[in-house]
Chains A and B, each alone.
Chain A
């Protein structure tokens, strides 16, 4: 198992290297595009362009160019944004990370707990009216767009009903760091958490239900019953445990994608200045250094979480473990 983990992590490093090369090629070696012009932002003067070329070594051979870029991204971390007047990009991303992590972690807790509850409830109630009912509610959760749910939540909690006891506790939009005020951090994130997790509760609930029902017919579930285990134990230790394999691998992918900036819509709607928000701003300003840095950051995070998922998967399912 240990060698598996080490191997998997080494593999991760290799994948990350390939990603940086690919991202670099896309941003700097696309034929017909002058990267200096793209980086300089809107209507640059020749002086700035020359400065950028010199700084990033754009006239030098490819490996050196790549090396300079990576040095600026990972070692000196002094890649600056031109459309955003000299802001250091890497530091900006690191500053935005806690907000995104707070949002995604909280939502993940909500969605895992509730999706398991919904999935098990629906599977147990199969054959009654509640199963299709739950599944329709879940489907609505999946179909409701985040920006719509978010705006609706804002409209109600910040607008019309803010005066009533129901929503008077909701602070103004934005993110308060945990270190500043844990209470405010929590209050400000409740609605974003719910909004973001809604889709995943619905989706994961449906996936788990399907897996549970499929597993119910497996021979080993029959064996578990024939052993004289309680129904509860058959369900939790045999059926749910085995069905969680799909759930966990999906979770890793979604979680990684969200931390990598996928929570963009939620962050924008609720004014949370996280990585998604940063990406959104960079995209609207065509701020190339920031876009590139968030892309690399996002890719790194997804690759890292994927490695963790693979390790978790091997822990859950002994059949994929190397012997």
Chain B
């Protein structure tokens, strides 16, 4: 890819001190994002995907949190910026939308006011002009009668509409990067599709790079250029979308792929699931974190696998299994119904 690298996360570690001990929420994550690119970060709840991006925004205000590593945005390490320098980047350089649109907007202010507030925080602009821009933005994200709706309060909007408002707010200062933290999780399926196509449209229109955090492989399937799969605070597989979908290397990725209901394949009797629960971040096993839930565990899995490019450039995975062996195992893990058919 020729585009310039916008954001680079290098060996990010985030831990929280708690009464029970140290929680290693993010354990050495490295990512990069180029201009206009879309990166999908996929993983279960608690895999550290949100914490990673919240750390990039430096939105974690917990005195018990400890950060290590670098977050380089346009040549500057965000971790080393002063609070005010960081504030100027938030909302104008990197913007973020969140999972629950029902609670993410302040209930006591009109939505136009809330959008204008962000514009005025970053630009010398009159109230009138900021408001006019808010109306334009609301129109751009597909809110009907934006000129009137701009004076409504958040509770007068549905969930999907509120997420549109959040998106309008996020793009109000033309950010280079939009971080969307599970933007569709709290919405019903038809609305999910609308929000995703809206994000795609904005990405194409404005050239914004997008980081899409989700637990749903289906969400990143046609939106992401690159995908990083996270498990227990680590990246277990990373690569171009095609590689991750059609040549998945890690058994955890297989599990995620297997749990998508697909319409283009024979209908399985049951959707496959990944047995067990993620390990406690308080006591991670010394070896592969996925080991306890992995059907293909063997001796070497007691040793922590490194994230390496084994199958090709830019396609990294952290699994000890032999590449040839994986090819065999993969189909049966993702599509157990194929075996049953063969019988």
Q: Kindly report which residue of chain B lies nearest to residue A219, judged by CB atoms.
A: B103
Instruction: Please tell me if B77 contacts chain A, counting CB pairs below 8 Å.
Output: no
Contact of B108 with A318 in the complex, beta carbons under 8 Å: yes
B321 within 8 A of A: no
Q: Decide: A229 and B87 in contact? CB cutoff 8 A.
A: yes
Residues of A near B126 (CB, < 8 A) are: none
User: Is A7 located at the chain interface by the 8 A CB criterion?
Assistant: no
B92 touches A220 (CB 8 A): no
Asked whether B117 is an interface residue with its Cβ less than 8 Å from the other chain, the reply is yes
Indicate whether A151 reaches chain B with its CB closer than 8 angstroms. Answer: no
Distance in Å: Cβ of A212 to nearest Cβ of chain B: 14
User: A292–B61 Cα gap in the complex (Å)?
Assistant: 57
Q: How far is the CA of A241 from the CA of B87 in the complex (A)?
A: 21
Contact of B106 with A318 in the complex, beta carbons under 8 Å: no
Whether A229 pairs with B98 at a CB distance below 8 angstroms is no
Separation in Å of the A108 CB from the closest CB of chain B?
Answer: 23
Which of A222, A228, A319, A323 sits near B87, CB closer than 8 Å?
A: A228
Number of A-B contacts (CB under 8 A): 77
Name the interface residues of B95-110: CB closer than 8 Å to any CB of A: 95-96, 98, 100, 103-108
B242 within 8 A of A: no
Question: Given that A127-B63, A226-B95, A226-B96 are known contacts, is A318 also in contact with B107, CB under 8 Å in the complex?
Answer: yes
Contact with A along B81-124 (1 / 0, CB 8 A): 00110011111100110101001111110000000011001100
A71 within 8 A of B: no
A188 and B266 alpha carbons, distance in the complex (Å): 89
CA distance A224 to B109 in the complex (A): 12
Is B157 interfacial (CB 8 A cutoff)? no
Also in contact, A228 and B108, with CB within 8 A (given A219-B98, A219-B100, A219-B103): no
Which chain B residues border A72 with CB–CB below 8 Å? none
Q: Which of B91, B153, B166 contacts A319 (CB 8 A)?
A: B153
B122 contacts A228, C-beta separation under 8 Å:
yes
Structural contact, A228 and B59, CB atoms closer than 8 A: no
Chain A, range 289-318, C-beta contacts under 8 Å to B: 316-318
The answer, among A225, A229, A317, for a CB contact under 8 Å with B107, is: A317
Number of interface residues of B (CB under 8 A): 32
Contact present for A319 and B107 (CB under 8 Å): yes
- Which chain B positions have C-beta within 8 A of A245? 108
Is A242's CB within 8 Å of the partner chain B?
Answer: yes
Give Cα A46 to B11, complex, Å: 99
The smallest C-beta distance from B31 to any residue of chain A, in angstroms, reads 19
CA distance A238 to B107 in the complex (A): 10
Measured CB to CB, the nearest residue on chain A to B122 is: A228
Q: Which chain B residues border A127 with CB–CB below 8 Å?
A: 63
Q: Which residues of B contact A230 (CB under 8 A)?
A: 84, 87, 121
* Cα distance, A238 to B156, chains bound together (Å): 19
Which one, A220, A231, A241, A316, contacts B105 given CB within 8 A? A220
- How many Å from the CB of B163 to the closest CB on chain A? 12
Are A223 and B90 interface neighbours, CB within 8 A?
A: no
Q: Which residues of A contact B122 (CB under 8 A)?
A: 228
Contacting pair B91 A323 (CB below 8 A): no
* A316 to B, closest residue via Cβ: B108
Using known A-B contacts A228-B121, A229-B117, A229-B121, determine if residue A220 contacts B107 with beta carbons closer than 8 Å: yes
Query: Is B169 an interface residue when CB atoms closer than 8 A count as contact?
Result: yes
Known interface pairs A127-B63, A219-B98, A223-B166; A228-B106 also in contact (CB < 8 Å): no
* CA gap between A215 and B135 in the complex, in Å: 29
B155 at the interface (CB under 8 A from A): yes
Q: Nearest Cβ distance between residue A313 and chain B, in whole angstroms?
A: 11
Bound together, the chains give a CA A233 to CA B100 distance in angstroms of 23
Give complex CA distance A228, B63 in Å: 20
Q: Given A219-B98, A319-B155, are A226 and B107 also a contact pair (CB < 8 Å)?
A: no
Task: Specify the chain A residue showing the minimal Cβ separation from B120.
Answer: A229
Closest to B86 in A: A228
User: With the chains together, A219 CA to B106 CA distance in Å?
Assistant: 8
Known pairs A229-B87, A231-B83, A318-B107; A222 contacts B121 (CB<8 A): no
B57 contacts the other chain (Cβ, under 8 Å)?
yes
What 14 new A-B contacts, CB under 8 Å, besides A227-B117, A227-B121, A228-B173?
A: A220-B105, A223-B106, A225-B59, A226-B95, A227-B90, A227-B95, A229-B91, A230-B84, A242-B107, A242-B108, A318-B107, A319-B107, A319-B153, A323-B156
B interface vs A, CB < 8 Å? 57, 59, 61, 63, 83-84, 87-92, 95-96, 98, 100, 103-108, 117-118, 121-122, 153, 155-156, 166, 169, 173
Give 22 A-B contacts (CB < 8 Å), ordered by A residue.
Answer: A219-B104, A220-B105, A220-B107, A223-B98, A223-B104, A225-B61, A226-B57, A226-B91, A226-B95, A226-B98, A227-B95, A227-B117, A228-B88, A228-B90, A229-B91, A231-B87, A241-B108, A316-B108, A318-B108, A318-B153, A318-B155, A323-B156
